[in-house]
Chains A and B, each alone.
Chain A
Amino acid sequence: MKIRIISNLISKDLTLFFRKKAIVVLTLIGFIFYLVIYFVMPASVDENLKIGLYSPVSLPVLNQIEEEGLEISSAASEELLKEEVLAGSYTVGISIPADILEKLESKQKPVISLYFTPDTPQEVKDSMEIVVRELVFMQTGQPLAFDISEEILGQDLTGTPIPPRDRLRPLLAIFILMMEILGLSNLISEEIERRTARALLVTPATVTDIFIAKSIFGVGLAFIQAVILMIIIGGMKTQPLIVLVSLLLGAALATGISFFISARARDFMSVLSWSFPALIILIIPSFTIMFPGAVTAWIKIIPSYYLVDTVHRAVNFGSGWGDVWINLLILFSFTLIIFCAGIYMLRRKFR
Chain B
Amino acid sequence: MSEYAIIAEDLTYYYGDLIAVNHIDFKVARGEILGFLGPNGAGKTTTINILTGQMKPKGGRAILLGTDVAEDVKKVKGDIGVCFETTNLYEQMSAIENLNLFARLFGIKSFDAGKLLSRVGLEGRGKDRVETYSKGMKQRLMVARSIVNQPQILFLDEPTAGLDPTSSLAIHNIIIQERDRGATVFLTTHDMVEADKLSDRVAFMNKGKIVALDTPLNLKQQYGKRALNAKVLTPGGKLEDREIALDAADTPGSVKELFSNEKVVTVHSREATLEDIFIKITGRGLVE
Contacts and interface: CB of A to CB of B under 8 A. Distances in A.
Interface of A: 4-5, 8-9, 12, 15-16, 19-20, 194-196, 198-206
A204 B90 contact: no
A20 B90 CA distance: 12
A8 B80 CA distance: 20
Contacts of A203: 77, 102, 105-106, 149
Contact of B105 (A16, A19, A198, A204): A204
A198 B87 CA distance: 11
10 contacts: A8-B104, A12-B90, A16-B92, A19-B92, A194-B88, A196-B89, A196-B90, A202-B82, A203-B105, A204-B78
Given A8-B104, A198-B88, A204-B78, 20 more contacts: A4-B107, A9-B105, A16-B90, A16-B93, A194-B91, A195-B88, A196-B88, A199-B84, A199-B145, A200-B105, A201-B54, A202-B52, A202-B53, A202-B80, A203-B77, A203-B149, A204-B106, A204-B107, A205-B105, A206-B74
A201 to B, nearest CB: 6
B101 A8 contact: yes
Contact of A15 (B77, B97, B104, B105): B97
B86 interface: yes
B86 A195 contact: yes
How would you classify the secondary structure of chain B's contact residues: helix, strand, loop or mixed?
A: loop
Contacts of A19: 92-93
Interface residues of B, number: 26
A198 B155 CA distance: 14
A212 to B, nearest CB: 14
A8 B84 contact: no
B84 A195 contact: yes
Contacts of B93: 12, 15-16, 19
A4 B54 contact: no
A196 B91 CA distance: 10
Interface string B62-104: 0000000000001001101110101011111100010001101
Contacts of B88: 194-196, 198-199
Contacts of B52: 202
A287 B248 CA distance: 92
B149 to A, nearest CB: 8
Nearest to A196: B88
Nearest to B78: A204
Nearest to B145: A199
Interface string B126-163: 00000000000000000001000100000000000000
Given A203-B102, A203-B105, A204-B106, A198 B92 contact: no
A20 B104 CA distance: 23
A1 B260 CA distance: 79
B106 A202 contact: no
A271 to B, nearest CB: 16
B85 to A, nearest CB: 10
Interface in B38-60: 52-54
A110 to B, nearest CB: 77
Contacts of A194: 88, 91
Contacts of B145: 199
A263 to B, nearest CB: 19
Nearest to A201: B54
Q: Which of A20, A198, A199, A200 has the most chain B CB within a 10 Å cutoff?
A: A199
B249 to A, nearest CB: 54
Nearest to A9: B105
A4 B104 contact: yes
Contacts of A206: 74
A123 B102 CA distance: 64
Contacts of A15: 92-93, 97
Given A201-B54, A202-B80, A8 B105 contact: yes
B105 A5 contact: yes
Contacts of B78: 204
A114 to B, nearest CB: 64
Contacts of B81: 202
A267 to B, nearest CB: 14
Contacts of A201: 54
A9 B93 CA distance: 13
Contact of A204 (B77, B89, B92): B77
A16 B53 CA distance: 27
Contacts of B104: 4, 8
A202 B89 contact: no
A15 B101 CA distance: 11
A204 B200 CA distance: 30
A168 B149 CA distance: 53
Contacts of B89: 196, 199
Nearest to A199: B88
A198 B145 CA distance: 13
B152 to A, nearest CB: 14
A201 B80 CA distance: 12
Interface in B10-56: 52-54
Nearest to A20: B92
B84 to A, nearest CB: 7
A142 B100 CA distance: 89
